[in-house]
Structure 1
Amino acid sequence: MNMNTVQLLPRSTPENQGISSQSIERFIGSIQEKQLELHSFMLVRHGHVVAEAWWKPYQADKPHMLFSLSKSFTSTAIGLLTQEGQIALEDRVIGFFSEYAPEDPSPNLSAMTIRDLLIMGTGHAQEPAMPSDIWAADFLKQAVEHEPGTHFVYNSAATYMLSAILQKVTGITLLDYLQPRLFEPLGIYGATWESCPQGINTGGWGLKLKTEDIAKFGQLYLQKGVWEGQRLIPEAWIEEATSKQISNGPADSSSDWTEGYGYQFWMCRHGAYRGDGAFGQYCVVLPDQDAVIAITSGLGDMQAVLNEVWEHLQPAMGSDVLPADTGAEVSLTGTLQALKLDPPSEEAASPVEKDVSGIVYDLEENEEKLQSFSIRFEEDGAVMELAGERGVNSIALGRGEWKSGTTSLIMMADNEYAASMTWKDDRTLELTIRLTETPFYLTTECTFGEEGIHLAYWMNQSFQGKVVREIKGKVTA
Structure 2
Amino acid sequence: MNLSRISAAVVPLHLRSCLIYRQEKLIFEHYRHEQVKHETAKINSCTKSFLSALICIALDQGLFPPPDTRIGEYVPMPDKERGDWRKDITIRHLLTMSGGWRWKEFGGINSFPQMTRSQDWVTFAMEQPMANPPGKMMEYNSGSSQILSHLLVQATGGSITSFAETYLFGPLGINDFLWEQDPQGIHTGGFGLSLRPVDLLNFGRLYLQQGQWENRQLISSGLAVHSVQPAIRVTDPWSGSYAWHWWCDSFEEDGKPSFDYFYARGYGGQFIYVIPSLETVVVLTDDRRKRERPPVDVFPRLIAPYL
TM-score under structure 2 normalisation?
0.87
Which of residues 76, 86, 90 is equivalent to 1:109?
A: 86
What SS does structure 1 have at the residue aligned with 2:273? strand
2:179 & 2:167 partners in 1: Cα distance?
16
Unpaired runs of at least 5, structure 2: 105-109, 251-258, 288-292
What SS does structure 2 have at the residue aligned with 1:268? strand
Partner of 1:197: 183
Contact map agreement 1:133 1:197 (CA 8 A) in 2: yes
Alpha-carbon distance, 1:190 to partner? 1.1
Which of residues 91, 95, 99 is equivalent to 2:69?
A: 91
Task: Write the mapping of 1:297-316 to structure 2, written as runs, cut at 5 A.
Answer: 297-298=286-287, 299=293, 301-312=295-306, 314=307
1:54 correspondence with 2:31: yes
| Equivalent AA in structure 2 for residue 81 of structure 1 | A
User: Aligned pairs, how many?
Assistant: 284
Task: Write the mapping of 1:431-442 to structure 2, written as runs, cut at 5 A.
Answer: none
What SS does structure 2 have at the residue aligned with 1:203? coil
1:259 correspondence with 2:253: no
Pair 288,168 (structure 1): closer, same or farther in 2 beyond 3 Å: same
Partner of 1:343: none
Contact map agreement 1:40 1:58 (CA 8 A) in 2: no
Deviation digits for residues 181-209 of structure 1, max 9, x if unmatched? Answer: 01111111112111111111111101111
Alpha-carbon distance, 1:102 to partner? 2.6
Contact map agreement 1:102 1:140 (CA 8 A) in 2: no
1:47 & 1:207 partners in 2: Cα distance?
26
Which of residues 220, 225, 245 is equivalent to 1:234?
A: 220
Partner of 1:126: 103
Contact map agreement 2:103 2:128 (CA 8 A) in 1: no
Pair 259,308 (structure 1): closer, same or farther in 2 beyond 3 Å: same
1:297 & 1:183 partners in 2: Cα distance?
22
Report which structure shows greater RCO (CA 8 Å, sep ≥6): 2
Alpha-carbon distance, 1:28 to partner? 2.2
| Equivalent AA in structure 1 for residue 285 of structure 2 | T
1:244 correspondence with 2:230: yes
Alpha-carbon distance, 1:58 to partner? 4.9
1:81 correspondence with 2:88: no
2:218 & 2:155 partners in 1: Cα distance?
20
Larger of the two Rg values belongs to structure: 1
1:106 & 1:57 partners in 2: Cα distance?
57
Alpha-carbon distance, 1:72 to partner? 0.4
1:28 correspondence with 2:17: no
Deviation digits for residues 330-350 of structure 1, max 9, x if unmatched? Answer: xxxxxxxxxxxxxxxxxxxxx
Alpha-carbon distance, 1:236 to partner? 1.2
Contact map agreement 2:51 2:149 (CA 8 A) in 1: yes
Partner of 1:382: none
Pair 30,104 (structure 1): closer, same or farther in 2 beyond 3 Å: closer
Deviation digits for residues 15-59 of structure 1, max 9, x if unmatched? Answer: xxxx4xxx22321212345xx341011111112111212112652
Task: Write the mapping of 1:31-42 to structure 2, written as runs, cut at 5 A.
Answer: 31-33=10-12, 36-42=13-19
2:172 & 2:298 partners in 1: Cα distance?
30
Task: Write the mapping of 1:278-297 to structure 2, written as runs, cut at 5 A.
Answer: 278-297=267-286
Runs of 4+ deviating beyond 6 Å: none
Contact map agreement 1:246 1:260 (CA 8 A) in 2: yes
Deviation digits for residues 263-297 of structure 1, max 9, x if unmatched? Answer: 11111212111111111111110111101111111
Contact map agreement 1:174 1:203 (CA 8 A) in 2: no
What SS does structure 1 have at the residue aligned with 2:207? helix
| Equivalent AA in structure 1 for residue 283 of structure 2 | A
Which of residues 143, 160, 165 is equivalent to 2:129?
A: 143
Contact map agreement 1:31 1:305 (CA 8 A) in 2: no
Unpaired runs of at least 5, structure 1: 1-18, 315-477
Alpha-carbon distance, 1:93 to partner? 1.8
2:243 & 2:163 partners in 1: Cα distance?
22
2:95 & 2:207 partners in 1: Cα distance?
17
Partner of 1:272: 261
Pair 102,140 (structure 1): closer, same or farther in 2 beyond 3 Å: farther
2:17 & 2:294 partners in 1: Cα distance?
16
Contact map agreement 1:279 1:300 (CA 8 A) in 2: no
What SS does structure 2 have at the residue aligned with 1:59? helix
| Equivalent AA in structure 1 for residue 197 of structure 2 | T
Q: CA RMSD in A?
A: 1.8
| Equivalent AA in structure 1 for residue 231 of structure 2 | Q
1:106 & 1:240 partners in 2: Cα distance?
32
Alpha-carbon distance, 1:146 to partner? 0.7
TM-score under structure 1 normalisation?
0.57
Deviation digits for residues 360-412 of structure 1, max 9, x if unmatched? Answer: xxxxxxxxxxxxxxxxxxxxxxxxxxxxxxxxxxxxxxxxxxxxxxxxxxxxx
More helix per residue: 2
Contact map agreement 2:101 2:130 (CA 8 A) in 1: yes
Contact map agreement 1:279 1:301 (CA 8 A) in 2: no
Alpha-carbon distance, 1:157 to partner? 1.2
2:90 & 2:210 partners in 1: Cα distance?
26
